[in-house]
Amino acid sequence: MLLETVVIVLREVVEAALIISILLASNLLFKESQRWVTASIFGGILMSLLQAWKLGWISQQFDGRGQEFVSVVLLMTISACLLWRIADLIMLPARAIPARFYGLPLGIAVALAISREGAEIFIYGYAYTARMDSVFNVILGCAIGAGIGISIGVLCYYLLTPLLTSLNRRWSAHVLVSMLTLITAGMAVQVVMNLMQAGVIESQLPLWNTSDLIAEASIAGQLLYALIGYEATPTPSQVECYTAVVVLVLAIAAARELIGKGSVP
């Protein structure tokens, strides 16, 4: 029971922790955009509690497709915020907008990432602490799982920040844009998965199968899933959406090069 709880909680926490740590690291390039972080963490926890509380009702909406639709809305909003941050990073030297707006996409993305992953933990924790034989194990397991997950996020942050500060501004922006783009592309893949699960778009046979190389259930598979949206058996439409996000970011970068040529200091 203890080990199971650790694994369940860790899987959810690590995903949000990695995204948050990379977003926070991207704050190094902006002044004063830290202000939303604490509020968004609390907001995210509140939203996941609400989602956990109402999940039964959510599930029954839209012909039983409520869970998938909520996931799609959350994923698309997070993706939009990540793209906003990516665009800010690409435009960085040329644009001068008030610093407080830089923090907004980050705050929304952090809150929604927590709300997405947190709901499942609360549902599990609530249901299984109710069984008297397992109260202690579930609470201890949640604490250990969350502790390891958050530690991995903190480790990622403290590995990333010295790297970014050692590079010049332009190159650290490149590193961040690349990392955030792959995370966003991974979310696009999850949007497609949810729409297929809800029967809204046709599911297809996978294009390839790399389960033997890196299983999705393995630790490497889980980390790659969080960082680059790794999917062992992606369908053609998932690969298309992944590529579309990468192409979109490249197009923004190319446009920036074309338009902003003379204005770079």
Partner 1 sequence: MRLVLLCVTACLAAIVSMRLDAEELPQFRLDIRDHLFYPPEFDVPAGKKFRLLVVNNDPTPEEFESYELNREKVVMDGSSVTVYIGPLAPGQYPFFGEFNPKTAQGKIIAIDNAGGAH
Q: Whole-number minimum distance, CB 222 to partner 1, in Å?
A: 10
Would you call 202 exposed, middle or buried from its count of C-beta atoms within 10 A (0-12, 13-18, 19+)? exposed
d(CA 95, CA 93): 6
Nearer to partner 1, 40 or 235 (CB): 235
Structure tokens at 9: 């909680």
Are 81 and 105 a contacting pair, CB within 8 Å? yes
Q: Whole-number minimum distance, CB 78 to partner 1, in Å?
A: 18
Nearer to partner 1, 215 or 250 (CB): 215
Longest dimension (CA), the chain: 69
Helix (H) / strand (E) containing 163: helix 135-166
d(CA 239, CA 218): 21
Q: Whole-number minimum distance, CB 217 to partner 1, in Å?
A: 5
Nearer to partner 1, 178 or 197 (CB): 197
* 15 contacts: CB under 8 Å, gap ≥ 6: 113, 117, 225, 226
Nearer to partner 1, 73 or 217 (CB): 217
Q: Whole-number minimum distance, CB 233 to partner 1, in Å?
A: 7
Q: Whole-number minimum distance, CB 175 to partner 1, in Å?
A: 30
Residues in the site for partner 1, rule: CB under 8 A?
4, 7-8, 55-56, 59, 63-64, 67-68, 120, 123-124, 127-128, 130-131, 193, 196-206, 211, 215-217, 231-233
Nearer to partner 1, 27 or 67 (CB): 67
